[in-house]
């Protein structure tokens, strides 16, 4: 059964999430890929303010295509999350509570999720056009020069994701593999 959550995320909501939970997100989320993450971390390292408030927020790893007339956004499928692994722990340390992407995360990111009480959420790869239907509005809020990789503020309604990594060390990908491993010859 899907559970609806709204943004921004509170520590209580994050603590209630477990690997394998199916969620529908409603509210504001931000986009960002590796080029935007690199700039954000450079600002953090210099002690400068970020162009967006990330405390309690979710960043979706996506570089959407341009919208067709009458649409809020073009295809908006997740990108491979591993490209953000070098940057994610610095963002969760500042209060980022969720990230959406596809693929596994590094051990350092999983430790940061536990330490900073944040979650990693998976969106279905290859379903960018369907995911875009859950995006009500989109506007560039930082780094417009990056084109598709600019940071956008998205308003979403019932955006479908699955909890991959939770604050307790749960990992849906590892649990899934264990469930179907061969136990030896019988």
Would you name the residues annotated as active-site residues?
Answer: 37
User: CB within 8 A of 41, min separation 6: which ones?
Assistant: 86, 87, 90, 91
Smallest CA-to-CA distance from 110 within 87, 78, 85, 90 is with 85
Q: Computed from CA positions of residues 6, 11, 15, 16, in that sequence, does the dihedral angle turn out positive or negative?
A: negative
Chain position carrying tokens 């919208």? 67
**HSE-up of residue 85 (Cα within 13 Å, Cβ side):** 14
Q: For the beta carbon of residue 22, count every other beta carbon within 10 angstroms.
A: 11
Q: Distance (Å, rounded) from C-alpha 151 to C-alpha 147?
A: 9
């Amino acid at each position: 059964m899907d559970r609806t959550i709204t943004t921004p995320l509170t520590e209580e909501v994050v603590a209630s999430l477990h690997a394998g939970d199916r969620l529908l997100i409603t509210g504001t989320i931000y986009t960002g890929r590796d080029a935007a993450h690199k700039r954000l971390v450079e600002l953090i390292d210099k002690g400068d303010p970020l162009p967006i408030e990330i405390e309690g927020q979710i960043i979706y790893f996506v570089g959407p295509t341009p919208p067709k007339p009458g649409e809020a956004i073009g295809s908006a499928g997740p990108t491979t999350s591993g490209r953000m692994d070098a940057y994610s722990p610095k963002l969760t340390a500042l209060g980022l509570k969720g990230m959406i992407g596809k693929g596994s995360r590094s051990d350092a990111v999983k430790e940061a999720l536990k330490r900073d009480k944040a979650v990693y959420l998976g969106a279905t790869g290859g379903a960018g056009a369907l995911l875009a239907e859950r995006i009500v509005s989109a506007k560039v809020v930082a780094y417009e020069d990056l084109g598709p990789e600019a940071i956008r503020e998205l308003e979403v309604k019932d955006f479908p994701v699955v909890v991959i990594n939770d604050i307790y060390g749960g990992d849906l990908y590892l649990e899934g593999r264990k469930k179907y491993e061969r136990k030896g010859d019988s």
